Amino acid sequence: MARRRNQARSAAHLARAVRGASAPGSPSLGQRLAALPRMIRAVRAGEYTGMSNTRLLTLLLGLGYVISPVDVVPEGLLLVVGLVDDAVVLSWLAVALVQETEQFIAWEQGVRGGVGQPIPGEVVPD
């Protein structure tokens, strides 16, 4: 019963991430993937304060959990149950990355010549 609930919740989270990532006017998958290294550098350098180092570490740990070869053993022994935990983590990771990259790209556009805040050192007319 709980397993089915987790599967349904996981599928709903993943569907929400796909809808959010493909909404009109939102960044494309390519833009999001290209923004990831910039986002990591900006968070680590303290330039982008929209994400904490702890949140960044949590996302990286989630990615590591999903791709880790150590996790293959439980999947081989527990079959479906072993895959459910990966599906839950993967869906959470997808939703989190869609949200974080969207916020970062919007911040980047506002700071680096888009609408919004001036670039530090830029002369702003009165």
The whole-angstrom separation of Cα 42 and Cα 60 is: 15
Q: Quote the pLDDT of residue 108.
A: 92
Q: Quote the pLDDT of residue 87.
A: 81
Place of tokens 């079959």: 79
pTM score above 0.75: no
Place of tokens 């390519």: 30
Task: Give a yes or no: residue 118 inside a domain.
Answer: no
The whole-angstrom separation of Cα 91 and Cα 94 is: 5
Confidence bin at 118 (pLDDT 50/70/90): very low
* Neighbouring C-beta atoms of residue 80, cutoff 10 Å: 10
| Total structural domains within the chain | 1
pLDDT digits (tens, 9 = 90+) for 16-75: 666 656 666 788 889 999 999 999 999 999 999 999 999 999 999 999 988 887 765 566
Confidence bin at 117 (pLDDT 50/70/90): very low
Outline where the chain has alpha helix (H). Answer: 2-21, 29-45, 53-67, 72-78, 80-111
The whole-angstrom separation of Cα 18 and Cα 115 is: 27
Task: Give a yes or no: residue 38 inside a domain.
Answer: yes
Task: Give a yes or no: residue 29 inside a domain.
Answer: yes
Task: Give a yes or no: residue 64 inside a domain.
Answer: yes
Task: Give a yes or no: residue 101 inside a domain.
Answer: yes
Domain that holds residue 30: 2-111
pLDDT digits (tens, 9 = 90+) for 97-111: 999 999 999 999 887
Task: Give a yes or no: residue 123 inside a domain.
Answer: no
Q: Quote the pLDDT of residue 89.
A: 86
